[in-house]
């Protein structure tokens, strides 16, 4: 039995009862003969409460001190978890990100991990302890200041530690039973995925699936660390995310058939901006996206239609996070005369629906089936973009639930029963 890294989100440790339940699960893994390293998020709403406090003393809390503040959250949960484990008769030690050797760059509030030097963790587990590590936080290489990795950073902490410690697996415990073929809150017949490749998981994560963050999966793929996403409430086998789909079941070795389609993701957090009447000549699109980039706005889908021959003008549409809509519009307005477009249209009543699966590379009918399913459901397609293993469309926000269900059924993803269960809130 080797080393296991387990990560528990805020909803799993929301109160004393949750902490005690998680402690039992950790001790079980230890009793099974594993060395166990646990990464834990702040309890329930702690982070939001701290952000609220910060807002009361300063309208623009950010940077170094904001990170110092937020990292108090994991400090509380990890110490309590260590106490609860000791109370079950096992030895545990908690470590801050800094003590655990999580070294980051100096970009406060959204730092990137640049190295992990887990010497103290290795010593602690070799002495027989269970090591509890604060998720979401690190220490900057320059200046030795406390940093945070941004929302979802605890998952990345777990995968990075698993890589540095050469763990067998990184178990991400959450409030659902695993990764589903669609959002179980929308599709009652969504099925839990037993195994999914890193590549498909990356596409799902960037298409609106919230179970794992893109950054975390990217890190796991780079260091080839299998991730096991599972529920801290049910104890069932969850979803394995890895390069190979062999030998990942706790029930023994078995090979799961790779599905043509892994799942259907949707995302209602984006808005669409259309730049109307752009002169169709070289450099115009570049000027538009340079203005957007200079405003530090991240864009997602981009579509440019063929220009009308009569006018020589074209429209360029792109999607972006709603939260950055204002910034993008302002940046574009400033360049209107230089670029010479007619007008801007802003639309935040859109949804993106994505079909993900490596199988579509070798199954030519996928796109047709996808569009037919939407058409049969009476859903209009506004934008289309594709990658090798993903097709995404933009529709009206009102249509999203019906569209996801229709596509899910059309690709034979529906389970025979309503199996999906959601246990709690959402972690970070």
The answer to whether 140 contacts a second copy (rule: CB under 8 A) is no
Q: How far apart are CA 76 and CA 62, in angstroms?
A: 21
The answer to whether 128 contacts a second copy (rule: CB under 8 A) is no
The answer to whether 50 contacts a second copy (rule: CB under 8 A) is yes
Query: Exactly one of 51, 54, 256, 344 binds a second copy (CB under 8 A); which one?
Result: 54
Token pair 């070289």: residue: 282
Query: Exactly one of 29, 51, 72, 302 binds a second copy (CB under 8 A); which one?
Result: 72
Query: Exactly one of 59, 252, 282, 364 binds a second copy (CB under 8 A); which one?
Result: 59
Rounded to the nearest whole angstrom, what is the least distance from the CB of residue 41 to a second copy in the complex? Answer: 14
Rounded to the nearest whole angstrom, what is the least distance from the CB of residue 151 to a second copy in the complex? Answer: 18
- Burial of residue 387 (CB within 10 Å: 0-12, 13-18, 19+) is middle
Query: Exactly one of 32, 87, 224, 244 binds a second copy (CB under 8 A); which one?
Result: 87
Query: Exactly one of 82, 161, 275, 420 binds a second copy (CB under 8 A); which one?
Result: 82
Sole window of 78-86, 105-113, 179-187, 234-242 interacting with a second copy (rule: CB under 8 A): 78-86
**66/198 with CB nearer a second copy:** 66
Sole window of 52-60, 166-174, 183-191, 303-311 interacting with a second copy (rule: CB under 8 A): 52-60
Sole window of 88-96, 229-237, 291-299, 392-400 interacting with a second copy (rule: CB under 8 A): 88-96
Question: Of 316, 309, 304, 318, which is closest to residue 341 (Cα–Cα)?
Answer: 316
Could you tell me if 238 and 228 are in contact, meaning their C-beta atoms sit under 8 angstroms apart?
yes
Query: Exactly one of 51, 79, 295, 377 binds a second copy (CB under 8 A); which one?
Result: 79
**13/420 with CB nearer a second copy:** 13
The secondary structure of 114-157 as a DSSP string is: EEE--HHHHHHHHTTPEEEEETTEEEETTTT-EEE--TTHHHHH
Alpha helices in 197-256 (DSSP H): 198-206, 214-223
The answer to whether 182 contacts a second copy (rule: CB under 8 A) is no
The answer to whether 61 contacts a second copy (rule: CB under 8 A) is yes
The answer to whether 144 contacts a second copy (rule: CB under 8 A) is yes
Rounded to the nearest whole angstrom, what is the least distance from the CB of residue 102 to a second copy in the complex? Answer: 16
User: What are the phi and psi torsion angles at 427 (to 5°)?
Assistant: -85, -170
Query: Exactly one of 71, 154, 181, 231 binds a second copy (CB under 8 A); which one?
Result: 71
Which residues between 13 and 42 bind a second copy (CB under 8 A)?
A: 16, 19-20, 23
Rg (CA), the chain: 23
Task: Give the count of beta carbons closer than 10 Å to the beta carbon of residue 142.
Answer: 7
The answer to whether 69 contacts a second copy (rule: CB under 8 A) is yes
Could you tell me if 312 and 279 are in contact, meaning their C-beta atoms sit under 8 angstroms apart?
yes
Could you tell me if 168 and 3 are in contact, meaning their C-beta atoms sit under 8 angstroms apart?
yes
Per-residue contact flags (x/-) with a second copy for residues 91 to 110, judged by CB under 8 A = -xxx----x-----------
Count of residues that interact with a second copy, criterion CB under 8 A: 37
Pairing relation of β-strands 35-40 and 130-134?
A: parallel
Alpha helices in 87-166 (DSSP H): 119-126, 153-164
Question: Of 212, 211, 198, 195, which is closest to residue 389 (Cα–Cα)?
Answer: 198
Question: Of 355, 338, 284, 362, which is closest to residue 316 (Cα–Cα)?
Answer: 284
Per-residue contact flags (x/-) with a second copy for residues 206 to 245, judged by CB under 8 A = ----------------------------------------
Strand order in the sheet with 390-396: 263-267, 350-356, 390-396, 383-387
Sole window of 62-70, 177-185, 258-266, 332-340 interacting with a second copy (rule: CB under 8 A): 62-70
In what helix (H) or strand (E) does residue 195 lie, and over which residues does it extend? strand 195-197
Task: Give the count of beta carbons closer than 10 Å to the beta carbon of residue 151.
Answer: 12
**Interface contacts to a second copy, rule CB under 8 A:** 16, 19-20, 23, 50, 53-54, 56-61, 64-66, 68-69, 71-73, 75-76, 78-84, 86-87, 92-94, 99, 144
């Amino acid at each position: 039995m080797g080393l296991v890294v387990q990560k528990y989100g805020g909803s799993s440790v929301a109160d004393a009862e949750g902490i005690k339940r998680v402690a039992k699960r950790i001790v079980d893994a230890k009793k099974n003969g594993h060395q166990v390293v646990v990464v834990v998020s702040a309890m329930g709403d702690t982070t939001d409460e701290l952000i609220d406090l910060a807002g009361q003393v300063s309208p623009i809390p950010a940077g170094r001190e904001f990170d110092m503040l937020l990292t108090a959250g994991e400090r509380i949960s990890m110490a309590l978890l260590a106490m609860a484990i000791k109370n079950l008769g096992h030895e545990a030690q908690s470590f801050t990100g800094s003590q655990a050797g999580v070294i980051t760059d100096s970009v406060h509030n959204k730092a990137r991990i640049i190295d992990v030097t887990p010497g103290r963790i290795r010593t602690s587990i070799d002495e027989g302890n269970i090591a509890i590590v604060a998720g979401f936080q690190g220490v900057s290489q320059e200046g030795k200041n406390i940093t945070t990795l941004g929302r979802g950073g605890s998952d990345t902490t777990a995968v990075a530690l698993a890589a540095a410690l050469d763990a067998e697996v990184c178990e991400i415990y959450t409030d659902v039973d695993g990764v589903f073929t669609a959002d179980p809150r929308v599709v009652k017949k969504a099925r839990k995925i037993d195994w999914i490749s890193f590549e498909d998981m990356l596409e799902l994560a960037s298409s609106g699936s919230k179970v794992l963050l893109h950054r975390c999966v990217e890190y796991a793929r780079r260091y080839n660390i299998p991730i096991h996403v599972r529920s801290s409430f049910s104890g069932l086998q969850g979803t394995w995310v890895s390069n190979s789909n062999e030998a990942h079941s706790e029930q023994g070795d078995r090979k799961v058939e790779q599905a043509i389609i892994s799942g259907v993701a949707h995302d209602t957090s984006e808005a669409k901006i259309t730049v109307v009447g752009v002169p169709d000549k070289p450099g115009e699109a570049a000027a538009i996206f340079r203005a957007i980039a200079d405003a530090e706005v991240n864009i997602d889908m981009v579509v440019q239609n063929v220009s009308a021959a009569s006018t020589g003008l074209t429209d360029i549409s792109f999607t972006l996070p709603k939260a950055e809509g204002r910034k993008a519009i302002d940046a574009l307005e400033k360049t209107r005369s230089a670029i010479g477009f007619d007008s801007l249209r802003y639309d935040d009543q859109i949804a993106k629906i994505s079909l993900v699966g490596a199988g579509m590379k070798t199954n030519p009918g996928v796109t047709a089936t996808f569009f037919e399913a939407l058409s049969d459901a009476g859903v209009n397609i506004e934008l289309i973009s594709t990658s090798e293993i993903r097709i995404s469309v933009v529709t009206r926000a009102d249509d999203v639930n019906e569209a996801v269900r229709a596509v899910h059924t059309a690709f034979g993803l529906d389970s025979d029963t309503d199996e999906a269960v959601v246990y709690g809130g959402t972690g970070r």
